[in-house]
Amino acid sequence: MINVNKKNLALSLCLLLTIGSLFSCKKFLDQEPLSDITPENYLWEESQLGAYAIDRYGILPSHGNYSFGTFGTDGNTDNMITPSLDNKYIPGQWRVDATGGAWDFSNIYQMNYFLETVIPRWQAGTITGTAENINHFIGEIYFLRAFEYFNKLQELGDFPIVKTTFPDNSEVLVEASKRMPRTEVARFILSDLDSAITLLKVTAPDGRKNRISKPVAQLMKSRVALFEGTWLKYFKGTAFVPGGPEWPGASQADNANYQFPAGSIDEEIDYLLGQAMDAAREVASSVQLVENTRIIESLNNENPYFSMFSAQDMSGYSEVLLWREYNRSLVTHNVPVMAQAGNYAVGLTRGMVESFLMANGLPIYAAGSGYAGDDYLADVRANRDGRLHLFLKEPGQRNVLANLSMGTHATEIEPIPRIWESGWEQKYTTGYTIRKGLNYDAIYCNNGQGYTGSITFRAVEAYLNYIEACYERTGSLDGNARTYWQQIRERAGVDADIDKTIAATSVAMETRDWGAYSAGQLVDATLYNIRRERKNELMAEGLRFMDLKRWRAMDQLINNPYHAEGFKLWGPMQSWYNANQLVYGAANNNAIVSDPQRSEYLLPLEIRSNTLSYEGLRWAMAHYLSPIAVQHLLITTADGSPASSIIYQNPGWPTTGGSPAIGY
């Protein structure tokens, strides 16, 4: 990161970071400069703009060490779980922090500094370099500010809209900390993305899709608009939308009679879903899906769809819009090792696996589906949706086809699921593991230092966004939506007759999938199948919790716990294990697996009764948004009382540190 080497700017940054990290300012100022570059001689030429922008890319998701990378992000959802349950599913355990949290402006500050410095110079024509590249790098910053603001929108909802850096004036900074209604934040994000779309090139200057491009911004716009449009639809009439009953934003005089920009909440929903459709269509109509040849064990890219997720160079895959490149001698990660083993203990749930259709387009429970059952992993995969057949692992499959001797941490042959392991590096949490991210060349498993690429944005999401936005907006599927859906299913190896699937679907049989619900009620069969398609196509790609939140898909857990299940351990597959690997007993501290009397399926979170997850996953309404740490409330109040802060707390959360959501 380039250090803007001025004490007053540093102090402004310290003040703006969480509008209250005054305690750390002196320490910050006492540090030696990170660079001798000063604002007066920086950001005057194309290369400097490009370098500043690329240095902000760290906010984008990417692989890392000691994890399953982006493929593990969906852990702690109904799709995938880990051995440790997140406190958000244990009401009373998630508590208001004293400090920290998502109320942070450090990344936003970096974007704002760039824009307020560069835009006047750009408008005056004083920046040297190629005009198209200068425009592009400015567009990247608009995109990155939008991306960071979208993170805030998802986690906190209402949030201050900060477009500039501020002087060293506490009154000004406190005023700037006022939260804006979430709809205004969403509109601000869309505006930034519109600016990015205008400025960005269709093909980024690097030519390898390692930098943001116009299609990436269009895809992001569709994601944001769909998120906010569906959030408003499913939280309408609650404190989680502006103007709703007990909406805390009404405590601010400016919001007392809040009006949606489009007029009403329904008109705002329609506008947002229309924006989502328009932006998604721009991508879906111009980017072709990668071919799936359905070949599994192939070394030389015989199946581009499989190889796309684990290639060293992803630039040649049409569907990959943005990816991060790694280097064996510079930056590496552990994903290839984990993909050949237990996915770093991130296991698919039974609900995830059973959501996949049969290849003939029928749900597994439908008459004539041909479902072989789940006594063995081979049965689970038989005649299923090609994505499950391709990515769900079973014992005996080959994981290495080249350079075995170079893979110090490679797993040549897929073993029986190692459910008895305690260490995350070897543990198969649910018995169900995936092959996404697996590369057949063991060179990427040498000393655990993998350097395959990681996908940041994939064009198929635009197809899915359009389908969903269309149906949510109109209650039907237009020609584009049907075409996109059929293309996805044909690529997956599933009968493309959508109507046959919908007719055979009983949503009441799909309740292990949280996407079957909105606001505690089952959705209709068409909408469920749209959500199912999204769930299956984007399996393990890090978007699940975002979707569950915007659908309001966890209300049913408030009163009815969810028991996360894995594979059918207590059937014929139990013969794979010896007695020492199948120790159970709720009161036995040495228990390894769940009691067969509780379920014939492995219950990874319900092995011992002294664990908080033993009674299943629960939810609290307040958990749809994160609480704001007390520190930020204290420093923006005149009388020292958090309750009187200019920053109001999120619905259902108290203003005292260490406290759970109200009522728990």
pLDDT digits (tens, 9 = 90+) for 507-526: 999 999 999 999 999 999 99
Q: What is the dihedral of CA 73, 79, 84, 85, to 10 degrees?
A: 110
Reading the block at residue 342, the tokens are 């237990």
505, two tokens? 């679907």
Name the least confident of 11-20, 98-107, 183-192, 568-577: 11-20
Among 90-94, 162-166, 289-293, 642-646, the range scoring the smallest mean pLDDT is: 642-646
Q: Is residue 312 situated within a structural domain?
A: no
Q: Does any domain span residue 187?
A: yes
CA separation for the pair 421, 614 (Å, rounded): 19
pLDDT classification of 145: cutoffs 50, 70, 90: very high
Residue for token pair 């004539």: 368
* Residue 426 located in a structural domain: no
Q: Dig out the tokens for 220 from the structure.
A: 């992001």
Burial class of residue 52, CB neighbours in 10 A (0-12, 13-18, 19+): buried
Res 38: pLDDT? 59
In a domain, 439, yes or no: no
Please check whether residue 26 is in contact with residue 20, taking contact to mean a CB–CB distance below 8 angstroms: no
Q: What confidence category does residue 20 fall into, taking pLDDT thresholds of 50, 70 and 90?
A: very low
Q: Note the pLDDT of residue 10.
A: 34
Q: In whole angstroms, what is the distance from residue 21 CA to residue 442 CA?
A: 47
pLDDT band at 664 (very low <50, low <70, confident <90, very high): confident
In sequence order, what are the beta bridge partners of 331? 327
Strand (E) or helix (H) holding 217: helix 214-235
Nearest to 44 by CA among 141, 122, 113, 145: 122
Instruction: Tell me the average pLDDT across 611-637.
Output: 96
β-bridge partners, 392: 434
Mean pLDDT of 42-70: 96
Q: How far is CA 114 from CA 53, 117, 243, 643, in A?
A: 9, 5, 35, 35
Do 118 and 48 have their domain in common? yes
212 close to 280: Cβ distance less than 8 angstroms: no
Residues 225, 180, single domain; the answer is yes
Task: For the chain, give the mean pLDDT.
Answer: 93
Q: CA-based angle 551:552:557, to the nearest 5?
A: 130
Considering the domain architecture, whether residues 176 and 227 belong to the same structural domain is answered as yes
Distance CA 171, CA 636 (A): 9
Instruction: With a cut of 80, say whether residue 119 has pLDDT above it.
Output: yes
Give the number of other Cβ atoms within 10 Å of residue 296's Cβ.
15
Report the distance separating Cα 516 and Cα 354, nearest Å. Answer: 13
CA nearest neighbour of 628 among 19, 208, 135, 71: 19
β-pairing, 521-522 with 80-81?
A: unpaired
Domain membership of residue 41 (yes or no) is yes
Q: Is the pLDDT of residue 219 over 70?
A: yes
> What is the mean predicted confidence (pLDDT) over 374-402?
98
The pLDDT of residue 643 is 84
What residue type is 92 in one-letter code?
A: G
Of residues 419 and 21, more confidently modeled: 419
3-state SS, residue 418: coil
Report the alpha-carbon distance of residue 319 to residue 628 in Å, rounded: 38
How crowded is residue 352: how many other Cβ atoms within 10 Å of its Cβ?
Answer: 28
Which has the closest alpha carbon to 244: 161, 149, 158? 158
For the chain, how many structural domains are there in total?
Answer: 2
Instruction: Please tell me whether residues 131 and 93 are part of one structural domain.
Output: no
* Same domain (yes/no): 152, 59: yes
**Helix 460-474 vs helix 214-235: crossing angle, to nearest 10:** 30
Please tell me the number of Cα atoms within 13 Å of 226 on its side-chain side. Answer: 30
- Over residues 233-279, the pLDDT tens digits come to 999 999 999 999 999 999 888 888 899 999 999 999 999 999 999 99
* Band of pLDDT at residue 27, cut at 50, 70 and 90: very low
- Are 263 and 188 within one domain? yes
Lowest mean pLDDT among 209-223, 538-552, 650-664: 650-664
- Asked if pLDDT for residue 28 goes beyond 50, the answer is no
Closest to 502 (Cα-Cα) out of 475, 529, 481: 529
Q: What domain range is 48 assigned to? A: 7-72+103-284
Q: Which of 260, 284, 308 is the last residue of a domain?
A: 284
Please report whether residue 192 resides in a domain: yes
pLDDT, residue 41, reads 86
Q: Are residues 145 and 233 in the same domain?
A: yes
Listed residues 240, 259, 284: the one ending a domain: 284
Calpha distance 432→602 (Å, rounded): 10
CA distance 339 to 442: 12
Task: Count Cβ atoms within 10 A of the Cβ of residue 35 and give its class: 0-12 exposed, 13-18 middle, 19 or more buried.
Answer: exposed
What percentage of the chain exceeds 90 in pLDDT?
88
- Which residues are CB-contacts of 497 (< 8 A; sequence separation ≥ 6)? 361
Read off the pLDDT of residues 516-574 as tens digits, 9 standing for 90 and up. 999 999 999 999 999 999 999 999 999 999 999 999 999 999 999 999 999 999 999 99
Domain-located, residue 480: no
pLDDT-derived band at 651, boundaries 50, 70, 90 = very high
Residue 606's nearest CA partner among 572, 552, 569 is 569
pTM higher than 0.75 for the full model?
A: yes
Structural contact between residues 382 and 394, judged by C-beta atoms closer than 8 angstroms: no
- Terminal-to-terminal C-alpha distance of the chain: 43
- Residue 179, domain CATH: 1.25.40
Domain end residue (candidates: 224, 255, 284)? 284
Instruction: Give me the mean pLDDT over the 642-655 stretch.
Output: 93
175 and 42 belong to one structural domain = yes
State whether 94 and 110 are in the same domain: no
Q: Are residues 560 and 661 in the same domain?
A: yes
Cα separation, 595 vs 593, in Å, equals 7
